[in-house]
């Protein structure tokens, strides 16, 4: 009602009214971007956040993994993930890349149908030299044994990567003629996570 979001669609069901929302204009979008970047920088400065985002978009997943560890340790609270972990982790990853909304070189999609199901998150690159990112998330229950938790996270991250192939989530990207695809599986448990990835380059 204050004008910081606008309703584009509504539907009614037994739970009430559901609304699809959009950021209304460039000025408000710029405000959100600054707020999100400052929150994610968490005292490091905006340049840290820009490097963090660039590590992901350029496919430097080892650096991104290090950055994400810092984000999880310094920003995420165990209380945040206790209510609805799946939704929280999905929302976290969307929030971490929210500054790409209406970016000239990228397009972002969440929970969209492709292949035989719905992928979790895609960052589609319009630059042929930069990969399109396809991300699938998994949650692992907490365990008191650190070694067991690490093993379970690594297995779940690999399962997420395998699911991308089995469900043919890349079908949409292939139809669009994408040349570089970076498939990423991430498994979370509390503040801990594991990351698996595979870069596929098409010569067609």
Asked if 117 and 169 touch (Cβ cutoff 8 Å), the reply is: yes
Element (H, E) at 118: strand 117-125
CB 180 within 8 A of CB 127: no
* Calpha distance 64→59 (Å, rounded): 8
Which residues have C-beta within 8 Å of that of residue 192, sequence separation ≥ 6?
Answer: 72, 149, 150, 153
- In this prediction the pTM is 0.78
| 148-199 pLDDT, tens digit each | 999 999 999 999 999 999 999 988 887 777 679 999 999 999 889 999 999 9
41 pLDDT exceeds 80? no
């Amino acid at each position: 009602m204050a004008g910081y979001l606008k309703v584009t669609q509504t539907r009614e069901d037994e739970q009430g009214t559901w609304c699809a929302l959009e950021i209304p204009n460039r000025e408000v979008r710029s405000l959100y971007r600054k707020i999100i970047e400052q929150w994610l920088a968490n005292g490091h400065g905006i340049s840290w956040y820009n490097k963090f985002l660039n590590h992901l978009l350029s496919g430097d997943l080892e650096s991104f993994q290090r950055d994400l560890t810092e984000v999880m340790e310094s920003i995420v609270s165990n209380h945040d993930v206790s209510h609805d972990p799946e939704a929280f982790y999905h929302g976290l990853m969307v929030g971490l890349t929210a500054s790409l909304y209406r970016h000239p070189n990228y397009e972002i999609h969440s929970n969209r149908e492709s292949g035989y199901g719905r992928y979790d998150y895609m960052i589609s690159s319009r630059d042929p030299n930069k990969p399109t990112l396809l991300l699938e998330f998994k949650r692992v229950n907490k365990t008191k044994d650190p070694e067991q938790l690490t093993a379970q996270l690594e297995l779940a991250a690999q399962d997420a990567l395998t699911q991308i192939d089995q469900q043919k989530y890349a079908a949409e990207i292939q139809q669009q003629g994408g040349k570089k695809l970076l498939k990423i599986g991430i498994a979370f448990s509390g503040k801990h996570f594991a990351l698996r990835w595979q870069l596929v380059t098409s010569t067609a």
